[in-house]
Structure 1
């Protein structure tokens, strides 16, 4: 009797668990469907009732120019920040005191102060240190690339440091036992594995880099937010330029997200190796 009662209780608990899981599943489907329909309805209302299609055609070329400018700044900042971030990551794992201390101080400063503050320092501060006429004309774009590179190199350096830390210590020992120097072991054995470990964080940082270009409006870079502000102040129509602003940013971040996902798949992220 006791065994029969215990078996019935176990069956009942399993059935209740299945019911709860099913309820949770369909509850999630219902909530997500309602949310999606609400968002689509709001977008449809905005496009139908708030967007001036005549103005849209007029300002579209300005947003295309701003989009291309942001894309150029992003590509330059992305390449330079990844390269610099690798060196920062090496510095963060270095056992040499000056190297490790400098890398730690660099990361602490650029992660501990706002990017907007760093942009202001580079754009206004560097020319003020120059004796006489500052030699670089149109300093806005170089200052923007430098600020974005220095800031994001700190975050990428930390991602690389974490990626290196996730590689088992025996990997370097095995490389050294094969006659590799420390530098060769890092380049040929450790860094490829660290890159794989850090790829998701680096990809996320690159998406943030795209969005951080919006801060460049404070130094008169004619990027997407600057064009939005100009159009809005001239026409008092917020929604028409808002639509183009959203499309412009998503036109960079969505493909970038697919590229990162592709690279993760190529790296067999989280998978088993044969």
Structure 2
């Protein structure tokens, strides 16, 4: 295949990559705060809330993301009585599925970060006269985010690759345009081009998180 052919198929695929990038940012911006709230819920002294949060995390992490996407896109509208009110745009439904799924994973990452903080940090904060909220904001959270950052970076890279699941719910993203070109032209070159685009996105994301680790010490 010529360079002209690669250039010709790259245009539509880059358009599809815009959808991939949009989903990534929506999922990251919404799922990280939601994941942190789930972590707080799990650690809540109000047991029903803690049990509910743990059950949610178990279900979302224990079932395939693809199944969750299919349920939100095609299952919710089939629910008797209320189904007609649960019909969502495919991209909106997929974004909701990604946010709900990744929030559960980020919740576990943040919980692990909290568990890794030495108990002596809490005691030292008490000695310094810090109240509960000051201890959380100035001592615990900065350390938790620093500990959790590598795992958050890894999960974020996984999210970029998981966006390919949009193809399964008929949202025209990068992989959709690659498959269309393969079917039309009977060549696997579009798959290689798609792979290069995915690698470029993950490379940029990896570089960003390395920059964050170098420049923000969270203390």
Q: Flag whether TM exceeds 0.5 (same fold).
A: yes
Distance in 2 between the 1:75 and 1:117 partners? 22
- Please give the per-residue CA displacement for 1:157-200, whole angstroms capped at 9, x wherever unaligned: 11100111111123223334555443442223211100000000
Describe how 1:75-94 pairs up with structure 2 within 5 A.
Answer: 75-94=25-44
Q: Does 1:189 align with 2:144?
A: no
> What residue is the counterpart of 1:8 in the other structure?
none
SS at structure 2 position matched to 1:95: coil
- CA deviation after TM superposition for structure 1 residue 136, in Å: 6.0
Distance 1:86 1:183 in 2: 16
* Alignment of 1:203 onto 2:203: no
Q: Which runs of 5+ in 1 are unaligned?
A: 1-50
| Corresponding residue SS for 2:158 | helix
> What is the rounded CA distance, in whole Å, between the counterparts of 2:135 and 2:193 in structure 1?
48
Judged with a 3 Å threshold, the aligned counterparts in structure 2 of structure 1 residues 214 and 94 are, in CA distance, closer, same or farther, namely same
1:229 paired residue number: 179
Displacement, 1:53? 2.8
In the alignment, the residues of structure 2 paired with residue 112 and residue 60 of structure 1 have an alpha-carbon distance, to the nearest angstrom, of 36
Given the superposition, is the C-alpha separation of residues 107 and 132 from structure 1 closer, same or farther in structure 2, using an over 3 Å criterion? Answer: closer
Give the corresponding residue for 1:128: 78
RCO greater where, 1 or 2, for CA within 8 Å and sep 6 or more?
Answer: 2
In 1, Cα distance between equivalents of 2:83 and 2:66: 26
Moved more, 93-102 or 155-164: 93-102
1:212 aligns with 2:212: no
Q: Residue 171 of structure 2: SS of its match in structure 1?
A: coil
CA 1:96–1:178: 2 relative to 1, 3 Å: farther
Distance in 1 (CA, whole Å) between partners of 2:124 and 2:66 is 45
Choose from 157, 173, 179 the match for 2:107.
157
| 2:198 is equivalent to residue 258 of structure 1 | no
8 Å Cα contact 2:179-2:191 kept in structure 1: no
TM-score by length of 1: 0.73
Q: After superposition, where does 1:48-67 map in structure 2 within 5 Å? A: 51-67=1-17
Q: 2:188 aligns with which of 223, 230, 238?
A: 238
Give the superposition deviation at 1:58. 2.2
The equivalent position to 1:98 in structure 2, one of 48, 51, 72, is 48
What RMSD, in angstroms, separates the aligned Cα atoms of the two structures?
Answer: 2.2
More moved, 211-220 vs 96-105: 96-105
d(CA) in 2 for partners of 1:182 and 1:98?
A: 23
Aligned counterpart, 1:36? none
Deviations 1:223-255, CA, capped at 9 Å, x for gaps: 11111111111111112x123201221221101
Whichever of the two has the greater Rg, that structure is 1
Give the Cα–Cα distance (whole angstroms) in 1 for the partners of residues 84 and 50 of structure 2: 37
Gaps of 5+ in 2: none
